[in-house]
Structure 1
Amino acid sequence: MVEILVTGEAVERAAAERATVTLQSRWQADAPEAAMTLVAKAHSRVSAEARAFAESGAVDTWHADRVWVSHHREWVGEGQPQRLVFTASASVTATFVDVEALGTWIGELGAEQVHEVGGIAWSLAEGTERELASRARSRAIADAVARAADYAEAAGLGAPVVRSIREPGVEPPRPLLAKRQRGVESMVLGAADAGGAVELAAGDIEVQALVEVGFSAEAASRGD
């Protein structure tokens, strides 16, 4: 009996269905009250809009941080006393299922100096991800069976029989074109600075399956 150990792999792809973005409200001032007041007002508006998007179904989940204040000393010039600067900041993170609504929101808020739009993380709905993972696993097993059969035939062995199945670490779903994705995020930030709705294109997400399968095969019987 001969042991055959092979790795089967498969990838399924689907268009991204969800977009998670973090929008930070941030301001600096010479006094903590001035920075806090402006950011609290801006943050309240962003939170209210995120809540409204959730109620309309455009946003799946969202959460808001509390406003906080920090300070640092800023160099002014040679021989000049350092300036004490206070920074107030708060952020809202929302996962959109309506990409068009997200583009409009980014265009409106990103044009205001108090707001900073972060990059977008694209993902699949849980049901879609589970379905793709299931299909990928089935194809990975079929790939392993085909590989083992090729090796057995090449070595003059009989049909291989499955003895063990092991799933090593599998990478989480990821955008198909990472370089293109970074370009899209840069476009989002630039368009937000200019104002107006931002047109977003997510691309596809990959779901990968990887499996190690152990087989055994007997030497093929020879005729007289």
Structure 2
Amino acid sequence: MTTSVLKRASAEPLLVFTAVALPVGWVLLSIPLFADLPVEPFILGTLFLGLVLPTVLLTRPSVKRLLVDTVRPPRPLWLLIPAAALIPVVTGVLTGADLTTFGFTNVLSSLLIINLWEEMAWAGFVQRRATARFGYVPGSVLTALLFTAVHLPLAFYGSGVAHNVAVMIVSGIGLRLLIGAFDVWGRGSILALGLIHATFNATGDLVGPADDRVRYAVTFGLGLIAAFLVTRRAGR
């Protein structure tokens, strides 16, 4: 789908997507808070019912292309290396974590089960349309805010709701800026974007709760660097 088509068609699909994703996320992710149930099945329910299903239905004329983008490697192929390594390596170096304990098996399973399809919705559908309509940085920020809004009930798990929301927004903006940049550099490969998201999540296990703030700061910082590179190139 060309940028001009996205610009003409972006507003209404984004509103419809939001109208579906928000209530599905709020209802499903709130159930474990009150029913003492594990949250993981409800995260999967939110993913496939609230994100993937509306994405597929709203992109029916071009859903085949979106699915191809989802599994297609980036061009150039070596971009998979920084996509996989940037967040865990920089975070590990700053915290002194043992990078040999990084869970690549967990990354692969998370990528195949969750993050590929999550980014098909967030990056391939929402962020591309928001970027085409509002620009790279505003579109990335808007996508991060929508992501936070859909997952808002997760902020109530544990203590410090305001802190949890702030962390979701800050790290989300950094992640979206980084993902938006790799979407450009990798020529639309969602596989690379899902890998970034999967390694971001897995880095939390690498450093543990005590150093998790470093992971968030690193993600935000990498996002700002990526934004500088993308906007500088666009300026030229």
Compute the TM-score of the two structures, normalised by the length of structure 1.
Answer: 0.26
Compute the TM-score of the two structures, normalised by the length of structure 2.
Answer: 0.25
| Bigger CA radius of gyration | 1
Between structures 1 and 2, the one with greater helix share: 2
